[in-house]
Amino acid sequence: MSAPKGKLKVYLGYAAGVGKTYRMLEEAQEMRQKGVDIVIGYFEPHGRKETIAKTEGIEVVPRRVLTYAGSPFEEMDTDAVLRRKPAVALVDEFAHTNVPGAERVKRWQDVHAIVEAGIDVLTTMNVQHLESLNDQVFHATGIRVRETVPDWVVDEADELVFVDLTPRALRNRLERGVVYAQEKARRAMENFFTESNLTALREMALRHTAHEVEERLDAEAAAGLAESPDEAPGDLQPVRRPERILICLTGRPSSAVLIRRGKRVADYIHAECLAVHVGDVSHDSEAVERHMSFARNLRIETHVLPNGDVPDSVASFARARGVTQIFIGRSAPLPWWKRYRESIVQRLVRQARDMQITIVAERRR
Amino acid sequence: MPTADNCRPNPEELLRKVQADERRESRGRLKVFLGYVSRVGKSYRMFDEGRRRKERGQDVVVGALQAGVTPEISQILKCLDVIPTISARHAGRDYEVMDMSALFRRHPAVCLIDGLAYDNPPGSRNPHRWQDVSELLDRGIAVISAVNLQHIAEQQDAVERITGKRAANSIPEAFLSEADEIEVVDAPPDALIDRTAVNAIPDSRKLAELRELALLLAADVVDRQLQEYLDAHGVAARWGAQERILVCLTPRSNAAEMLRSGQRNKLRFHGALLAAYVEQPELPPRDRELLDKNLALARDMGAEVHALKGIDFVDAILSFAREQRITQLFLGHTGRPNRAWLARGPIDRLIDAAESFDIRLFPHGSAS
C-alpha cells in the first residue's frame, strides 16, 4: 500500500531568462497564501533580484554539499525533502545532471522519487533539453545539448505550461544585465542568444507544447472511451493496422540521430517502436551497446539478431513482428570503384518492397 | 550546406522590400499578447509590461481598456496615464471609442490598447479598433495590445467547431502576423477553471483544444518571422521546426497510399503537405491520364501541388525540396527492377543526395 503519486508540473521555456522560475515562484506564492505547505527543494538564483525577491517567505530545504575531484558541489538534498514531506516542492532545472557521487545521475530522477512519495513538484526546463529535439536544436543553433531529458518523462507530467517571452524582449533583458552579468551577457548574445536561434527555439517550444496538449487530449479521449464504450461517437477513425516502427541500429555515430528520429515519428503517429541490431556484437560492440541502451532509455524495445545477411535478417524480423515502417541510416558512401556493389540500404529497399522504408538523413549543419 | 539556385530576388522585389523596410523603420512597433480564452491573464501581462516600461523611463499611456477591470489591473493603472475613451451610443448599444486626436496630440512613445478586436460604432473614424491601431503605428507610436484566439477571423471556424460559439468581432490574421512581436499567454485549463466562476468558460477539454490551436497559430507566425529573418540576412532556408512533407508523384506510383500517409503525418505533426511532379514533354496518353488522376487526388487531400520543370527528375526534386525546407520526401517504387549494371537509379541518387531530409519509400502496391 503506497501513497498516491504527487503531481508534476513543468514550466517550459526556450532559453534562460524567459521567466520560467519567476512564473513558478509566482504560483508558489499564490499557493502559500492559500495555506499550502510548500518548500523549495532546489532554486537557482542566478543573481536575478526580481526572482530572488519572489522566494520570500518560502521555506528552503538546505542543499547538500558533495565533494568531487576536490571541489565542493551543491545538489538538492532529496532525502531531506522526502523527510520533510511537504505538499508541494519546487525544484528548479529539471534537466540538470548531478555531480558524480550523488545517488541519482539526473535531477529528473530525484524529482521522480519525490513525486513517487506523494509530493507534488513544480519544476522548470528549456525545450532544448528534450531528447527528441536534440538534432533539430543542433541544426538550428549549431549547439549540441548534452544534458537531455527523455521525452516520456515530460509526457508523464500532469501539466505543462509554456512560458513565453519574445526574443526581442529577452535580448533586451540580456542587454540590461537582468539575465547574466554584462560580460557574459554580451558573449551570450553573440553566440547562443542570437535572434534567429531564439526564434527557432521558440517555435520548437510552441510546437512541442501544442503536441503535449494534444497528447493529453488523445489520452483523455481514449480513457473516456474505454470507460463508456456504448457512447463511442460514430466519427471515430477507421480501424487501421497498428503502425509499428523498426529502427536498424549500428555502431556508427549517426545511429543516435536515427533513434531520435524514429522515436519522434513513432510518438507522433502513436506507433510502437522497436530497434534491432544485426550481428556480432563483438565488432564495435561498445558503440552498439551504447546505442542500444540509449534506445532503451527512450523506452524502445531492443533486439539483437544473430550474425547474418543484414537486409535478409532485418526484412524477415520485420515481417514476423508486423512492422509497417523500417528506419535505416544512409550507408557510408562507397569508393567509386566499389560502386558496382549494392549498399545495405539498396538491398534492403529491394528485399522489403512490401514495407515502407525510411532512409534517415544525418542533418549535418 | 547547399543553397538553392536562382534564389536571387528580381529588381522589383528588391525595391518592394526596400520600401517595406523604410515604412517599417518609421512605423511604431506592434506587440500583441495572444490568449487562447478570456481570463488567461493577457491584459494583466500587457499592462504589467507597460508599467515596467514606464519604470524604465518610457512615455507610456493607456489608449483603451476593457470593461471589467480586475483589481490587479486597477493597481497597475494607478501609475499609468489613461487617455479616456469617448463614450458613444448607437442603436441602443454603448460604445467606447479611442480618442484618436487626443492620442495624436499626446503622441506617447508607447500606447497600451486592450481589446484589439473591438468594433467602433458606425460613423467612427475607422470601423475597427485594429485600424485605429494601424494609424497610431503609422504615426510612429508603438502599440502593445492583447487579443484572444476567438477574435482572429481565420481561426473563427475552428473555434466555433470547438465551443459552438462565434465572436461577433474579429481582426484579420494578417494583422497579427505582421506584428513585430507576439507573445503567448499560456496557462493550463485547470488553473483557469479554479480562477473563474463556473460556467463562465468552456470545459477543460474544449479549453485544451483552444490552447493547442493558439500555440500552433503562434508557432506559424514565429515560423514566418524566422524565415523572413533568415531571408533578410541572406541565410539559406533551412530545416525548421515544422515537418514539411513532399510527395513525389509519377504516373505509376502508388499515389493514394503515399498521400494518405502524408495527410496523416501532416495532421499529427501539424505540418505542411506538398506534392510535386516533374513535367515530361512526351508522356504517353495513358500515363498522362494516370498522372492527372494522381494530381486530382493530391488536391483533394489538401496537398499543395507543384509542377516542376527540369531536364533531370532527381535534380528537379532535390532543388525543390531544399527550397521548400522539406523534412520528409515520399517516393514510390516504380514496380520494375530499377537496377542495371553500374547504373544508379533515381532512388539511389536521391538517397545519396538527401542530407537534410528523410526519404520514405513506399511499396509499389497495385496502383492502376
Nearest CA in chain B to A134: B241
SS (H, E, C) B178-237: CCCEEEEECCCHHHHHHHCCCCCCCCHHHHHHHHHHHHHHHHHHHHHHHHHHHHHCCCCC
Which residue bears the cell 543553433? A141
| A217 contacts B212? CB cut-off 8 A | yes
Query: Which residues in chain B are closer than 8 Å to A359, comparing Cβ atoms?
Result: 351, 354, 358-361
| B187 contacts A330? CB cut-off 8 A | no
Q: Tell me the one-letter amino acid at B253.
A: S
Q: Do A302 and A295 contact (CB within 8 A), yes or no?
A: yes
- ∠ Cα B113 B119 B122 (to 5°): 130
Give the whole-angstrom CA distance, residue A265 versus residue A268.
5
Nearest CA in chain B to A139: B239
In 3D space, the residue among A12, A36, A16, A14 whose CA is nearest the CA of residue A24 turns out to be A12
Q: The whole model's pTM is what?
A: 0.86
Residues 6+ apart with CB under 8 A from A155: A212, A215, A267
Nearest CA in chain A to B327: A361
Query: Which residues in chain B are closer than 8 Å to A204, comparing Cβ atoms?
Result: 241
| A340 contacts B184? CB cut-off 8 A | no
Annotate B91-103 with DSSP letters as a single string.
TTEEEEE--HHHH
B43-92 tens-digit pLDDT: 999 999 999 999 999 999 999 998 888 898 999 999 999 999 999 999 89
What is the C-alpha radius of gyration for chain A, rounded to an integer number of angstroms?
23
Give the whole-angstrom CA distance, residue A232 versus residue A345.
44
B128-175 tens-digit pLDDT: 999 999 999 999 999 999 999 999 999 999 999 999 999 999 999 999
Q: Do A365 and A139 contact (CB within 8 A), yes or no?
A: yes
Q: Which three cell numbers stand for residue A19?
A: 521567466
In 3D space, the residue among A348, A136, A148 whose CA is nearest the CA of residue A261 turns out to be A136
**How much is the ipTM here?**
0.84
Q: Which three cell numbers stand for residue B224?
A: 514566418
| B364 contacts A353? CB cut-off 8 A | yes
Considering only the beta carbons, identify the residue of A196, A210, A268 that sits closest to B215.
A210
CA distance A164 to chain B (A): 6
Nearest CA in chain A to B35: A164
Q: Which three cell numbers stand for residue B252?
A: 505509376
Query: Which residues in chain A are closer than 8 Å to B263, comparing Cβ atoms?
Result: none
Q: Is the dihedral of CA B262, B264, B269, B270 positive or negative?
A: positive
Query: Which residues in chain A are closer than 8 Å to B218, comparing Cβ atoms?
Result: 164, 206
- ∠ Cα B357 B343 B328 (to 5°): 10
Give the whole-angstrom CA distance, residue A364 versus residue A362.
6
Query: Which residues in chain B are closer than 8 Å to A159, comparing Cβ atoms?
Result: 188, 190
Q: Is B161 on the interface with A (CB under 8 A)?
A: no
In 3D space, the residue among A13, A6, A58 whose CA is nearest the CA of residue A31 turns out to be A58
Residues 6+ apart with CB under 8 A from B267: none
CA distance B25 to chain A (A): 16
Residues within 8 A of A (CB atoms), B 127-156 only = none
Task: Determine the angle formed by the axes of helices A182-190 and A167-175, rounding to 10 degrees.
Answer: 140
A72-85 tens-digit pLDDT: 999 999 999 999 99
Which residue bears the cell 548574445? A189
Going from the C-alpha of A93 to that of each of A57, A125, B342, the distances in angstroms are 21, 6, 55
In 3D space, the residue among B293, B294, B362 whose CA is nearest the CA of residue B330 turns out to be B362
Residues 6+ apart with CB under 8 A from B367: B252, B253, B254, B255, B256, B332, B335
Q: Do B267 and B354 contact (CB within 8 A), yes or no?
A: no
Residues within 8 A of A (CB atoms), B 212-241 only = 212, 215-216, 218-219, 222-223, 225-226, 229-230, 233, 235, 238-241
Give the whole-angstrom CA distance, residue B243 versus residue B251.
26
- ∠ Cα A120 A156 A66 (to 5°): 60
pLDDT for the residue A230: 47
CA distance B167 to chain A (A): 23
| B333 contacts A207? CB cut-off 8 A | no
Which residue bears the cell 505533426? B269
Give the whole-angstrom CA distance, residue A251 versus residue A186.
40
CA distance A92 to chain B (A): 19
Q: Where do runs of H (alpha helix) occur along chain B?
A: 11-26, 42-55, 71-77, 100-106, 129-138, 156-163, 173-177, 189-195, 204-232, 255-269, 285-300, 313-323, 346-353
Nearest CA in chain B to A218: B205
How confident is the prediction along chain A (365 residues), in pLDDT tens digits per residue? 467 999 999 999 999 999 999 999 999 999 999 999 999 999 988 888 889 999 999 999 999 999 999 999 999 999 999 999 999 999 999 999 999 999 999 999 999 999 999 999 999 999 999 999 998 898 888 889 999 999 999 999 999 999 999 999 999 988 888 888 888 888 888 888 888 899 999 999 999 999 999 988 888 777 776 655 444 444 444 455 788 999 999 888 889 999 999 999 999 988 999 999 998 656 668 889 999 999 999 999 999 998 888 899 999 999 999 999 999 998 776 666 666 667 788 888 888 878 899 999 887 76
Give the whole-angstrom CA distance, residue B109 versus residue B58.
7
B28-37 tens-digit pLDDT: 999 999 999 9
